Homo-oligomer: A and B are copies of this chain.
Amino acid sequence: MTHRIGVVGASGYGGAELVRLASGLPTLDVAIVAAHSRAGEPVASVFPNLAGTRVFDEIDVDALGELDVVVLATPHGPALDLAPKLVEGGTPVVDLSAAFRLSADGFAQWYGEEHPHPQLTPATYGLPELHRRTIPDATLVANPGCYPTATLLALHPLLALVEPGSIVVNAASGTSGAGRTPTDTLHFAHVHGSASAYGAPTHRHTGEIEEHLGHGEQTSGPVQFTPHLLPTARGLLATCTADLRDGVGHDDVQSALHDAYDHEAFVQVLPSGTWPTTKAVHGSNGCQLSAVVDERTRRVVVSSAIDNLGKGAAGQALQNVNLLLGLPETTGLTAVGTYP
């Protein structure tokens, strides 16, 4: 049986990556690839890898409403408008934007505007390794941000082992995370061979990390999050440190990670001392993690690598689509990273 899905915002990197992943899958028919500004233009004119004669579709809510799932890969503005209409009509939505990831209060704080649909937010947070049970029945799934995905996978299992308020995350992403719109700071000659921090200390993913890292009685406390731009197209690395609670040691940390992920298809815990590389997961839905305990400073350092367009966006979205459709979660996601 083939399920019919739609991608809105398919002229962006996230949307196009989903189209790429779904290409040739017998289980999924991407019936609509909508892009407001590019409607009518050939998909191949924007994405040279997506050969063929297909053109971008208009955004037509009625047509989208007849599909089995709609994936929104637009900025959060259009998503705030489209998602409620589709959900009301009974069509499940996976939203790659930040529109429904935070509580209404968090949204107001980090995005500087009142949330227009406070009753819909936060939607079901689509990080299957943490929320697998609730996703299949959701009507609106908020696909996590790229930095929060890497950070939460690294720190969520360790939260009970570390001191609230002590978390420092330094992360670095390839430029595709910043989108397809040409700008001075994403111009090839500017970025090639260069690295820099940006956006700290008020990057909006900070709020998302804090809101979704806490669970049960554990809270993260304020997180110091500094993102950086890497001179590469894809790939995201998060290096997370936190003060260990008294008595916590190497074995506790390793056990917590292995307990959380040894049964997971997409998350791999590397031996302590073997560090994840972004290239190992390039083009895949994988996440590689590794942790060391520094007894001298009594801190843990966890490094986490994902493809920002894979597990950090479209791969995870497909994982959520699979869950919503009752398909095996790994359908279409078994590709291994294209190292080297």
Which A residues are within 8 Å of any B CB, using their own CB? 13, 20, 23-24, 46-51, 165, 168, 170, 172, 174-176, 180, 182-184, 186-198, 200-201, 222-224, 226, 228, 230-235, 237, 239, 241, 268, 275-284, 286, 288, 292, 294, 296-297, 299, 301, 303, 305, 334-340
Are the CB atoms of B228 and A13 closer together than 8 Å?
A: no
Q: How far is the CA of A126 from the CA of B276 in the complex (A)?
A: 35
CB distance from A110 to the nearest CB of B (A): 11
CB distance from A27 to the nearest CB of B (A): 14
CB-defined A-B contacts under 8 Å, sample of 6: A13-B340, A49-B279, A51-B286, A186-B187, A192-B192, A196-B303
Select which of B23, B172, B233, B297 is within 8 A of A188 by beta carbon. B233
Select which of B46, B233, B239, B294 is within 8 A of A192 by beta carbon. B233
Are the CB atoms of B201 and A172 closer together than 8 Å?
A: no
Are the CB atoms of B194 and A235 closer together than 8 Å?
A: yes
Given contacts A183-B182, A340-B176, contact A224 B241 (CB under 8 A): yes
CB distance from A254 to the nearest CB of B (A): 15
Closest to A47 in B: B339
Select which of B183, B197, B233, B292 is within 8 A of A193 by beta carbon. B233
> Within 8 Å CB of A24, what residues of B?
334-336
Q: How far is the CA of A188 from the CA of B294 in the complex (A)?
A: 30
Copies in the assembly, this chain: 4
Top-6 shortest CB links A-B: A182-B182, A194-B279, A201-B294, A48-B280, A49-B337, A49-B339
Are the CB atoms of A186 and B189 closer together than 8 Å?
A: yes
Are the CB atoms of A192 and B232 closer together than 8 Å?
A: yes
Closest to A297 in B: B222
> Within 8 Å CB of A277, what residues of B?
48, 194-196
CB distance from A23 to the nearest CB of B (A): 5
Q: How far is the CA of A224 from the CA of B243 in the complex (A)?
A: 10
> Within 8 Å CB of A51, what residues of B?
268, 280, 286, 288
